[in-house]
Amino acid sequence: MSSLGALGCSSPPPARLVALEMIETLRGTSDSNGIAITDAEIDCMKAAVSAMSEDEVTLIAQSTDQLVLDSFSAKLSACRGS
């Protein structure tokens, strides 16, 4: 198989993968108050996303509804005790 075959795939990555990768970028950072985001908090956020169905994650990723986005944010914020 030629290497060109691997380049032909252009479908977007699954929403869950994107969410998990975005959460992973928080590792080693701090929040807006200068409080470090711990590895345990990141692992908790990733577990919260992993526990959601692919349909639910996709719905959130495509949503423009502030209530949906706030609900997702609250799930992740619970990992920080906020």
Q: What does the DSSP assignment read for 26-63? A: TTT-B-TTSPBPPHHHHHHHHHHHHTS-HHHHHHHHH-
Identify the pLDDT of residue 28: 95
Q: Kindly list the domain boundaries of the chain, sorted by start residue.
A: 12-80
Residue 53 and residue 60 in contact, taking contact as beta carbons nearer than 8 Å: no
pTM of the model: 0.80
Cβ neighbours of 35 (radius 10 Å): 11
The length of the chain, given as a count of residues:
82
How do residues 45-71 score in pLDDT, each as one tens digit?
A: 999 999 999 999 999 999 999 999 999
Residue 30 and residue 38 in contact, taking contact as beta carbons nearer than 8 Å: no
